[in-house]
Amino acid sequence: MKREGPVALLMISGFLYIISVIVASPAMEPVAATLDDWYKVVVGFINLVGVISLTQVNGRAVLRRSEGWFYNAILLVVLYGYIILGLVGGLHNVAFNLIYDNILTPILMTIFSTLTFWIGSAAYRAFRAKNADAAILLVAAVVVMIGRVTLGSAISPAIPKAAEWILNFPTVAGMRAIEMSAAIGGIVLALRMITGLERSFMGFD
């Protein structure tokens, strides 16, 4: 029952969801919305599991005085401090929002901005013309990059047009092929799950 129960529940809810999306019936109308709401409730509750995981990993590091335990301690203080601040002062609490807007957001944006440099190093490796494929990639990338700035049209009006063509035709064709095949893969995976053929995600075969 420990195994059959979840599989049966998945099959029933999966079939109900598909029917409610496809069939136009007032009786089926609220099914998908209700299942979506249940999912949101479960997700909200499971955030607590995430907090427990963070506490376990970082608490253990602090108790064992592992290397860098001080940072684990800071994480725990910040985690629980911010939870308490939110619970006591509410979401419109000035300090709560001040920390979010003026400390957390700039830190996250700083990490985001480092992406510029990562793109540079990745592009350098990808655009080295080691073989015919890489050479085509290099030529296409140079045309697109130059074609998207004023330098492209200053050199020749054909360059921006070539850049547009590369973006609108070969790129879109390739992307749509990948998207279509992935969507079909997703449909088959979903069918395997709701027919009970795929169970690996449940932690048992």
Contact footprint for another protein (CB under 8 A): 18, 21-25, 39, 42-43, 46-47, 49-50, 53-54, 56-57, 60, 67-68, 108, 111-112, 114-115, 118-119, 121-123, 125-126, 175, 177-182, 184-193, 195, 197-198, 200-205
Q: Which is nearer to another protein, 58 or 159 (CB)?
A: 58
Residue 88 or 202: the one with the smaller Cβ distance to another protein is: 202
Joined together, the tokens standing for residue 157 give 């009006």
Q: How far is the CB of 126 from another protein (least distance, A)?
A: 4
Distances (CA, A) of 179 to 15, 152, 165: 24, 31, 20
Contact 198, 192 (CB under 8 A): yes
Shortest Å, Cβ 6 to another protein: 11
- Specify the residue, 6 or 162, whose C-beta has the smaller distance to another protein: 6
SS3 96: helix
What's the Cα-to-Cα distance from 190 to each of 24, 41, 70, 81, 187, rounded to whole Å? 21, 22, 45, 41, 5
